[in-house]
Amino acid sequence: MVNHPPAPNHPPNPPMPANNPAQVINTSAPNPYVGHSALTTSAAPDLITSQNPFQNDVSSSINFQRIGANVPNPIALRNQALDSIRKQSIIANRLMSSQKGAQTSESLIANMYFADETLTSAPMLQCQSVTFTPSHSSVGENKSTQHIGVRAMITNRRLVFVDSTKNNRYTLEKTSLNTDSLITPFRKGESYQAMATITDVLWFKPLPLPSITGVEIYTSHRSEASQYVANRVAPYWFFSLISGILGYLIAATGLYQDMDPAVLILLAGVLPTLLLIFAAFLWVSKAQVKIYNSINSVTKSREIRIGAYDTIHNKPMYISLRVEDSQPLASIFHWCKELQNYSPRLSGTEDPLILM
């Protein structure tokens, strides 16, 4: 029996009129990264071209926003800080490129394929995380290794995992500089250090297809749709209430003084009172049904579990692939089908590998 995840406990949403378009809330686990390229992910978007490149660092962002406080040239200082960090970003990228020999993650991975190796029709699997766990770990012992933002590809010879991460971090910190000029000394608290830091990490792990011992798919989907149906007080009581109050106000102005006493009593007292009583009656007895817009939510979880023999650690491994929410379900099943087609121990062309 499959245990489905419990319904998420969301705070009640404010009711929306039914004539508004229905919105679908995706409550699935979000990706802890953003896409940088086909193979590469980043922890946050690159904000170097924005008006505040320091947004991802709280203290730096605060320093940048406070540049204009008590400074005689706030615009010039702010513009110079922006110009400086953008120049440092260019220099940092050049230094990174020189370290890697002008190679990108894509070009490095392309050079790792054998001459007779080709990609299958399986799509590149985009995984939130891939976890490798030894199958004989002791109870309570955690020897799992996890990678975030992994791409998994199937060739005619290997199952290839790639974790390429490139992060750009921009900081603006206050600093103190020693002055050597009596004419133009540094103003206290108005010196900053703009720094651009780039990290580029690449992890490549191929597994020969004969080492794949098993595969299974676990998918869980949940959808909810709800709607508010409410009974509200009809608005007629309000018009009766206003009419009764106006009757009293008109009588107070003396407009009915020249009329017959019977008519005066009727217009100034009886009729307004009846209108107020009628308003109370309408409040209690009249109602109208109000239908609000649907509140829709979806939740999904996709996991591929693979058994394999790890040639590095020389032991059987359990691999858990958490697939991204945006990956189509049909492509996930097609990926697993191709893995079975090209893995000899899964397709039946070779005997199962029994690992003890």
Domain ranges for the chain? 34-222+296-347, 229-291
Answer yes or no: are the C-beta atoms of 217 and 333 closer than 8 Å. Answer: yes
167 forms beta bridges with 199
pLDDT of 139 higher than 50: no
Amino acid at 348: G
State how far the Cα of 113 lies from the Cα of 185, in Å rounded to an integer. 60
Answer yes or no: are the C-beta atoms of 219 and 4 closer than 8 Å. Answer: no
The pLDDT assigned to 31 comes to 87
Report which of 55, 59, 58 is spatially closest to residue 82, judged by C-alpha positions: 55
Q: Read off the DSSP letter of residue 10.
A: P
The pLDDT assigned to 265 comes to 77
pLDDT of 40 higher than 60: yes
pLDDT of 42 higher than 50: yes
**Number of Cβ atoms within 10 Å of the Cβ of 254:** 9
The pLDDT assigned to 13 comes to 53
The pLDDT assigned to 178 comes to 79
Q: At what angle do helices 236-252 and 271-285 cross, to 10 degrees?
A: 160
Amino acid at 356: M
Q: Which of 48-52, 166-170, 307-311 has the lowest mean pLDDT?
A: 307-311
Across the chain, mean pLDDT equals 87
158 forms beta bridges with 208
pLDDT digits (tens, 9 = 90+) for 319-343: 999 999 989 999 999 999 999 999 9
Answer yes or no: are the C-beta atoms of 3 and 300 closer than 8 Å. Answer: no
- Average of pLDDT values for 203-221? 94
**Number of Cβ atoms within 10 Å of the Cβ of 266:** 14
Stated as kind and residue range, the H or E segment containing 62 is: helix 58-65
The pLDDT assigned to 196 comes to 97
Whole-structure pTM value = 0.77
pLDDT digits (tens, 9 = 90+) for 62-90: 999 998 777 889 899 999 999 999 999 99
pLDDT digits (tens, 9 = 90+) for 5-14: 444 444 445 5
Answer yes or no: are the C-beta atoms of 341 and 347 closer than 8 Å. Answer: yes
* Residue with more model confidence, 256 or 302: 302
